[in-house]
Amino acid sequence: MEQYRLEQADKNSFAVHQVIYSKADIEMWYDWNTRLNDTKFTDQCFWIMCGDDRIGGVVKMDDTVMFPFVIPPFSDRQQMWRVLLKCCKDISNINGVLQDDVDILQSLGFKVNVIRQVMCCPTGTSKKPVLPAGFSLYMLEDSFDITKIKEVMKEGYRGGIDYEIYGVPDDEKIMEDISYLLQVYKHRNLSIYVVNEQNQEIVGLCIAGISKNMPLGFAEIGELCVVPQYRNKGIAEFMLNYIKDSASAYTEVVKLCITVGNYAEILYSKAGFQAGPRFAKMTKRSMQ
């Protein structure tokens, strides 16, 4: 009878196997060393063993697993998940689930919470971005009173897929998120906001920049939102292209992460952003 178990792995060897056999660069790093280092964030990595043979690997932290992969010649992903769930009966959360595994895990008692994907685009534009008439552009700098954009962020959540999944964050959480992103992009802040010239209302914003620790020096868009009554006026498209243009002085690539189903995905695709592999966050269904 085959005996399955988990065995602690050396994280350096584990990272090599994970990068090769995961078959997906979900963060769109486009770089071997960056992907290796991304996988080495913890030593809680394990081989999935069948007797003396490695059939796969996974990172397990408390009740959460991530970065799963199968090692050839073993190829039965359903069996791999059955083995893992049998070895670790406390698993409640699974992160970074590729589409090949979603159906398998649904049949094993898990549900999809959210599906995400990273998108990347070359910086620069073929023509200078033009702001629609009646609006003005400003830089969102460290000295700016961020309480003034709290409501813009809050309104920006309404009506989209993120609102359906997460609801609208409270004021404290929104302020915390804004402060965090501006701190992350402090190294090379590219953030902007747009104002209605007639009533001086802030109608949209884009928090973006280059983190000091961003692999390959890519620029990143952390938030892009327009309040509902000002949508479909070209403001979001302008901000997106403005960031691409301004980032071109510092880097060749701008990236972002989006919830699959977000209406902005069409806008990003139109602006030249290429989507990477979709990955899901799943949780164990509660037994009623």
Give the pLDDT mean for 275-280.
95
Q: Tell me: pLDDT of 14 over 60.
A: yes
Query: In terms of domains, do 271 and 157 share one?
Result: yes
Give the pLDDT mean for 5-10.
96
Give the domain range for residue 56.
4-108
Query: In terms of domains, do 96 and 142 share one?
Result: no
Query: In terms of domains, do 127 and 258 share one?
Result: yes
Paired residues of 8 in beta bridges: 46
Do residues 160 and 263 touch, judged by C-beta distance below 8 A? yes
Query: In terms of domains, do 162 and 84 share one?
Result: no
List, for residues 175-218, the tens digit of each pLDDT value: 999 999 999 999 999 999 999 999 999 999 999 999 998 989 99
Say what percent of the chain tops pLDDT 70.
97
Give the pLDDT mean for 46-50.
96
Q: Tell me: pLDDT of 57 over 90.
A: yes
Q: Is residue 23 very low, low, confident or very high in pLDDT (cuts 50, 70, 90)? A: confident
Do residues 138 and 193 touch, judged by C-beta distance below 8 A? yes
Q: Do the domain assignments include residue 83? A: yes
Query: What's the confidence (pLDDT) of residue 164?
Result: 67
CATH number where 239 lies: 3.40.630.30
Query: In terms of domains, do 95 and 154 share one?
Result: no
Q: Tell me: pLDDT of 150 over 90.
A: no
* 255 phi and psi angles, rounded to 5 deg: -135, 165
Domain stop point among 48, 78, 108: 108
Q: Do the domain assignments include residue 68? A: yes
Q: Is residue 10 very low, low, confident or very high in pLDDT (cuts 50, 70, 90)? A: very high
List, for residues 96-145, the tens digit of each pLDDT value: 999 889 999 999 999 999 999 999 999 999 889 999 999 999 999 878 89
Q: Are strands 219-226 and 93-98 parallel, antiparallel or unpaired?
A: unpaired
Do residues 117 and 180 touch, judged by C-beta distance below 8 A? no
Q: Do the domain assignments include residue 114? A: no
Query: In terms of domains, do 154 and 272 share one?
Result: yes
Query: What's the confidence (pLDDT) of residue 287?
Result: 64
Of 22-26, 51-55, 169-173, the poorest mean pLDDT is in: 169-173
Query: In terms of domains, do 95 and 65 share one?
Result: yes
Query: In terms of domains, do 89 and 166 share one?
Result: no
Domain stop point among 108, 140, 175: 108
How high does pLDDT run on average in the chain?
92
CA dist 219 → 29, 128, 131, 247, 274 (Å): 12, 19, 22, 7, 15
Query: What's the confidence (pLDDT) of residue 273?
Result: 96
Q: Is residue 261 very low, low, confident or very high in pLDDT (cuts 50, 70, 90)? A: confident
More confident residue, 173 or 208: 208
Instruction: Please tell me the total count of domains within the chain.
Output: 2
